[in-house]
Amino acid sequence: MMNLTLKIWRQKNANDKGKIVDYPVSGISPDMSFLEMLDVLNQELIEKGEEPVAFDHDCREGICGTCSLYINGRAHGPQTRITACQLHMRSFNDGDTIYIEPWRAKAFPVIKDLIVDRSSFDRIQQAGGFISVNTSGNTQDANAIPIEKEHADKSFDAATCIGCGACVASCKNSSAMLFVSAKVSQFALLPQGQVEATDRVLNMVKQMDAEGFGNCTNTGACEVECPKGISLENIARMNREYLAASLKG
Amino acid sequence: MSGILKSSVGRKFAMALSAFFLMIFLVMHVSINFTSVFSEELFNNMSHFMGTNPLVQGLMQPILIFGVIFHFVMGFVLEYKNRQSREVSYAKNVPSGNSSWVSRNMLLSGVVILAFLALHFYDFWIHEMTVKYVEGDMSGLVDANNPESGFRYYEELREKFVSPVRVGIYAVSFVLLSLHLLHGFNSAFQSVGANNKYVKSLKGFSKVYAIGVPALFIFIALFHHFTH
């Protein structure tokens, strides 16, 4: 069993200034997930009549992209290619001090404690992260369209982005380019995505800039911290798509 | 196409284009400078050509000055916007776990290079402009009234590298330029949308360029310092 000191960002609401608060926790099993450890802490806080720590979580199996914790200075903690819910306490040592903070970005304002508002991602998606398909009953079976395997694989890889925002959180510029480029790429690589390709990339980049995300300076931090390993190749592809669309438009 | 520079992608594209231009210029500059190591006559002739050719002086020089100013101004604009995108910093952040120091400190290396450029302009460019366009001496000779006196460029170059302090400043600045290029070379390709197997094969070349070109500049400064 482990005894830990947690330094957790507490913020009552969006307008509160917020601060780091220390919480000692004991009897933590190395086999617990990180979120289960927070559940233990919250149970203790509730029993003491204190406000539990608010944090985002849903599937708890690395699929939904909801958990968004900056743990000991890294998005989703010290391990790579996992989300915070897939992180286990065996990644830490007895006696450790662990910092737990929300994603930090102007476009991800803190709602409460460790929960941030990521609706800016939703608005970027709404600006063009889709294909318009006629669903009148005569829709062509997508599997009937031959697609080069390399393109299909890269499109699938891009589509594995769960929109967790770790790319933004770990980028020194709070750039959302890895996320946006993944959403652009998953369609740009497929014939179904070609029809709206020009408008898609122009509108999504425009919305991304309007949300206040920073510029990409190609540090590669986003790729390293992405739980799904989304490649920087997607940003280059989005840049190509954007420049070509700008020339057309 | 209109308003492309207002977008984050467009700004990075423009930044990359100016970087490519400056990287090509650096190769030309170091090539000419390197001739001073083995041929005083060749260096003098090339310097005189570059300093008096109307195409170089009237077209290429203004484009170069614009490219330098644009690269620095755009760098500061991007940095300002990037800093605005995160209003609250992390209490604990470990960026070394996911990115290199040089990639995170392009502004720092860029500012040092900017300071060096100010010295460089003071040392060479302002002097050249004064002699040629203020005093009206386009001869390039040590003594404008004596055709036998020979070109002045080689001796002026060697004179600048007598001071160990100036040589030290040059060396430190070029080390920072090397760090700047170590990230900037590949970053420029990424910004223009080139990230394929051909560009990835350039990574080895980019290291040779980023270390080799500044190292040559340092070598030239040290050569003249120790052989003067």
Q: Identify the pLDDT of residue A107.
A: 98
Contacts of A216 in chain B (CB under 8 A): 8, 12, 191
User: Does residue B1 carry a pLDDT above 80?
Assistant: no
- Counts for chain B of helices (H) and strands (E), in that order: 11, 0
Q: What is the pLDDT of residues B117-156, one digit of tens each?
A: 999 999 888 989 999 999 999 999 988 888 888 999 999 9
- Rounded Cα distance between B106 and B94, Å, is 18
> Contact A242/B10, CB-based, under 8 Å?
yes
Residue type for position B182: L
Which residue among B89, B90, B99 places its CB closest to the CB of A221?
B99
| Collapsed DSSP state (helix, strand, coil) of residue A133 | coil
- The CATH number of domain A2-112, selected from 3.10.20.30, 3.40.50.720, 3.90.650.10, 3.20.20.410: 3.10.20.30
Measured in angstroms, the CA of A206 and the nearest CA of chain B are apart by 7
- Rounded Cα distance between A221 and A169, Å, is 10
Measured in angstroms, the CA of B185 and the nearest CA of chain A are apart by 11
Residue type for position B164: P
Q: In sequence order, which residues have a C-beta less than 8 Å from that of residue A40 and are 6 or more positions away?
A: A25, A27, A28, A32
**Which of A76, A117, A218 is most worth mutating to test chain B (most B CB atoms within 10 A of its CB)?**
A218
Contacts of A205 in chain B (CB under 8 A): 7-9
Domains of chain B, by residue range, sit at 7-84+102-227
Cα nearest neighbour of A78 on chain B: B97
- Rounded Cα distance between B19 and B199, Å, is 16
Instruction: Give the CB-side neighbour count of residue B111, counting CA atoms within 13 A.
Output: 5
- Token representation of residue B89: 């910093």
**Which of B4, B7, B92 is most worth mutating to test chain A (most A CB atoms within 10 A of its CB)?**
B92
- Rounded Cα distance between A171 and A219, Å, is 8
Q: Identify the pLDDT of residue A158.
A: 98
Contacts of B197 in chain A (CB under 8 A): none
Q: Identify the pLDDT of residue B81.
A: 94
Measured in angstroms, the CA of A141 and the nearest CA of chain B are apart by 31
Q: Identify the pLDDT of residue B2.
A: 52
ipTM attached to this prediction: 0.95
Domain B7-84+102-227 = CATH 1.20.1300: yes
pLDDT tens for chain A, 249 residues long, are 999 999 999 999 999 999 999 999 999 999 999 999 999 999 999 999 999 999 999 999 999 999 999 999 999 999 999 999 999 999 999 999 999 999 999 999 999 999 999 999 999 999 999 998 877 888 778 888 999 999 999 999 999 999 999 999 999 999 999 999 999 999 999 999 999 999 999 999 999 999 999 999 999 999 999 999 999 999 999 999 999 999 987
Domains of chain A, by residue range, sit at 2-112, 118-134+144-248
Instruction: Characterize the bridge pairing of strands A97-102 and A69-71.
Output: antiparallel
CA-CA distances (angstroms) from residue A219 to A167, A201, B167, B186? 11, 22, 32, 11
Which residue among A219, A224, A239 places its CB closest to the CB of B13?
A239
For residue A75, the surrounding DSSP H or E stretch is strand A74-75
Q: What is the pTM of this model?
A: 0.94
Centre a 10 Å sphere on the Cβ of residue A16 and count the other Cβ atoms it contains. Answer: 12
Q: How many CB pairs under 8 A join A and B?
A: 144
Where does A118-134+144-248 sit in CATH, by number? 1.10.1060.10
Q: Which residues of B touch A (CB under 8 A)?
A: 1, 4, 6-13, 78, 81-82, 84-95, 97-100, 103-104, 106, 183, 186-187, 190-196
Query: DSSP character for A140?
Result: P
Centre a 10 Å sphere on the Cβ of residue A151 and count the other Cβ atoms it contains. Answer: 13
